[in-house]
């Protein structure tokens, strides 16, 4: 049995026998596949990276071919948005397991004066019901039962969002941004080792005839790494979008093919219609920003507001830690020590309690105390931090309830407490252009290969694009055990809660953009991004060094450490304090670019295939 699988099965057995509290047991019970829920994409080979220094601009993405496409746009005088669009189109081809035309994305943009949050999150079709994700037995569906097919496909938003961002901030013609992806789709690209390993590992992709004809040979074997793969169907669709804009995708023959695919699945059809696709609108939101003080320096950190929970949770974690003795806990032998991990885990548990209770699509739920900023108020976080046992060797706190921000006499929101559940895979793009304008964009089709449904218009061309399964980011059960509605329940037209956390960091005093960062990874995106920010801002690491740090996190219950990266004494020290600790694969895909006196320095996650390029 491969080591990776062995680790996962040990994790499953450990979860089954661990003596967890009733609350933690209920939350873990919502996961039908505990060994994989922290790793929506399997781990693959790790490649050592030392980072990249550039002078005038930089682009970081999850695949070298995609990064090269972004660099071409920047060399041609394009904006950060131009580069991000070119990168995304190539990722749709060369990294189809993670993102693409059939998914959604969040993009944070800085134009030198203001920060904007572009929301291209998928939406639930108008025909969904409150029990869409419940089985005939009245219980939440098993995760893979819900995913494979059309049931959980959300209305794609990536193209509408990118079109909106380009209309405001593009410098190159829209059509020019598609040229690299069209050329690669027509001429072919060598399948990367990571893509090959994910195709070989997947148990459902081959069930779709279109995907089977594209990802596998005539004998049904997955194409190996290095095989030159062409996607003429995607090239044709991209050419139409390049000429006609997003309308070529959201209306007409492509939209009809999407609706047919969703509705026509033999055993698990969905309810998406042509009207759902035509009615989709991307949204520009005010960014969610918070101050973060390190010694005498104050940073301004900006990211996505709800429906993303990412920035909220990161802001809470970092500032909760600021109310504990973490400033006195340095790295030990280059690694976060057990005392620091204890404090981090406790801060995260408090943040996830609030996240699971309050955060959902702001068009459908009200924020506590009338503002999402109430969850980031210094006084509220200082009070919450008092729940953390900070003395050396002190025990883990009891499972925390969600907090009550705002005035003490404010009426609490009547939402049920949602069970923690799976969120899945994504990709991240960071760009800073020659004008100092920046993009942080996290893009997704949710699970690896999404719903395992590949759309093809039926014109005799091989290939196509994959559809998301984003509706599984809603809580499957619409109410809790007490019958209270869950904030993140499924509703028509609603955007599912996300953990994606594209992040821009500024010097508060000068307003200068310092960092663009983010990561894929489902709910643990929050921890991957927080780790990277903490490493750079608190421990003084460069972007690559911070990314290289071992991963860790929690979803509110057990603590998770990246397998093989910590000494046994670290896990044991946490267990002694009452934490349940599991060592598992945590294959992040972090990208980060930081300003330096000489220009920029970028890092890409050694756990995936990304690179940073620039001049």
pLDDT tens digits for range 172-203: 999 999 999 999 999 999 999 999 999 999 99
411's CB contacts (< 8 A; 6+ apart) are: none
In sequence order, the 6+-apart residues with CB closer than 8 A to the CB of 450 are 100, 102, 103, 153, 466, 467, 468, 469
Indicate the DSSP class of residue 102.
Answer: B
426 in catalytic set: yes
Provide the pLDDT for residue 415: 81
Kindly tell me the sign of the dihedral angle through the C-alpha atoms of 201, 202, 207, 213.
negative
pLDDT confidence of residue 21: 31
- Tokens at 558, concatenated: 């057990």
Model pLDDT, residue 49: 94
H or E element in which residue 415 lies = none
CA distance 407 to 426: 38
CA 23 to mean position of chain CA atoms = 26
Q: Specify the pTM.
A: 0.92
For residue 375, the model assigns a pLDDT of 97
pLDDT of res. 313: 98
pLDDT value, residue 404: 93
Supply the pLDDT for residue 42.
57
Taking 70 as the pLDDT cut, the residues of the chain under it are 1-45, 409-412, 417, 419-425
Which 3 state secondary structure label does DSSP give 388?
coil
Q: How far is CA 420 from CA 216, 234, 462, 555, in A?
A: 35, 36, 39, 7
What are the Cα distances from residue 153, in Å, to 258, 451, 539?
10, 7, 41
Residue of 158, 426, 443, 472 marked active site: 426
């Amino acid at each position: 049995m491969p080591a990776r699988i062995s680790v996962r099965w040990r994790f499953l057995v450990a979860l089954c026998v661990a003596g967890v509290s009733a609350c933690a047991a209920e939350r873990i019970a919502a996961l039908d596949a505990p060994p994989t829920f922290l790793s929506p994409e399997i781990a693959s080979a790790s490649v050592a990276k030392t980072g990249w220094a550039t002078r005038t601009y930089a682009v970081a993405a999850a695949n070298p071919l995609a990064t090269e496409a972004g660099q071409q746009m920047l060399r041609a005088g394009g904006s950060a948005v131009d580069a991000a669009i070119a990168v995304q189109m190539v990722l749709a081809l060369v990294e189809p397991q993670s993102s693409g035309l059939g998914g959604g994305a969040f993009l944070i943009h800085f134009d030198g004066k203001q920060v904007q949050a572009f929301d291209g999150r998928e939406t639930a079709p108008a025909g969904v019901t409150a029990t869409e994700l419940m089985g005939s037995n009245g219980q939440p569906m098993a995760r893979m039962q819900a995913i494979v097919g059309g049931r959980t496909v959300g209305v794609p938003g990536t193209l509408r969002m990118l079109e909106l961002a380009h209309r405001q901030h593009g410098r190159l013609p829209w059509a020019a941004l598609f040229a690299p992806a069209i050329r690669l789709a027509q001429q072919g690209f060598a399948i990367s080792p990571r893509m090959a390993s994910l195709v070989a590992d997947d148990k459902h992709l081959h069930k779709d005839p279109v995907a089977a004809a594209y990802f596998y040979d005539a004998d049904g074997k997955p194409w190996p790494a290095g095989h030159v793969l062409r996607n003429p169907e995607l090239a044709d669709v991209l050419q139409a979008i390049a000429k006609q804009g997003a309308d070529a995708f959201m209306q007409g023959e492509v939209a009809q093919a999407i609706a047919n695919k969703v509705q026509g699945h033999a055993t698990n059809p969905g309810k998406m219609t042509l009207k759902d696709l035509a009615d989709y609108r991307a949204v520009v939101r005010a960014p969610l920003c918070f101050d973060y003080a390190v010694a005498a320096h104050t940073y301004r950190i900006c990211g996505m507001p709800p429906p993303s929970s990412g920035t909220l949770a990161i802001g809470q974690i970092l500032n909760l830690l600021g109310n504990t003795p973490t400033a006195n806990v340095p790295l030990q032998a280059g690694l976060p020590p057990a005392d620091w991990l204890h404090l981090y885990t406790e801060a995260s548990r408090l943040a996830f309690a609030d996240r699971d209770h309050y955060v959902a699509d702001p068009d459908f739920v009200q924020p506590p105390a009338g503002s999402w900023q109430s969850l980031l108020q210094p006084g509220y976080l200082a009070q919450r931090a008092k729940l953390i046992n900070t003395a050396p060797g002190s025990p883990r706190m009891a499972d925390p309830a969600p907090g009550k921000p705002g005035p003490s006499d404010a009426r609490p929101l009547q939402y049920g407490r949602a069970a923690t559940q799976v969120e899945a895979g994504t990709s991240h793009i960071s760009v800073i252009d020659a004008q100092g304008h920046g993009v942080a964009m996290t893009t997704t089709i949710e699970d690896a290969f999404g719903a395992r449904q590949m759309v093809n218009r039926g014109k005799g061309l091989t290939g196509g694009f994959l559809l998301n399964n984003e509706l599984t980011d809603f809580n499957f059960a619409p109410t809790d055990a007490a019958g209270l509605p869950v904030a993140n329940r499924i509703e028509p037209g609603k955007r599912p809660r996300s953990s994606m956390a594209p992040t821009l960091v500024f010097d508060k005093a000068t307003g200068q953009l310092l960092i663009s960062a983010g990561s894929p990874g489902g709910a643990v995106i929050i921890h991957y991004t927080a780790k990277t920010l903490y490493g750079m801002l608190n421990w003084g690491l460069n972007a690559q060094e911070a990314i290289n740090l071992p991963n860790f996190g929690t979803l509110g219950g057990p603590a998770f450490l990246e397998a093989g990266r910590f000494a046994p004494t670290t896990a044991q020290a946490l267990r002694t304090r009452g934490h349940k600790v599991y060592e598992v694969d945590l294959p992040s895909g972090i990208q980060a670019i930081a300003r330096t006196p000489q220009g920029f320095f970028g890092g890409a996650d050694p756990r995936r295939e990304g690179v940073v390029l620039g001049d």
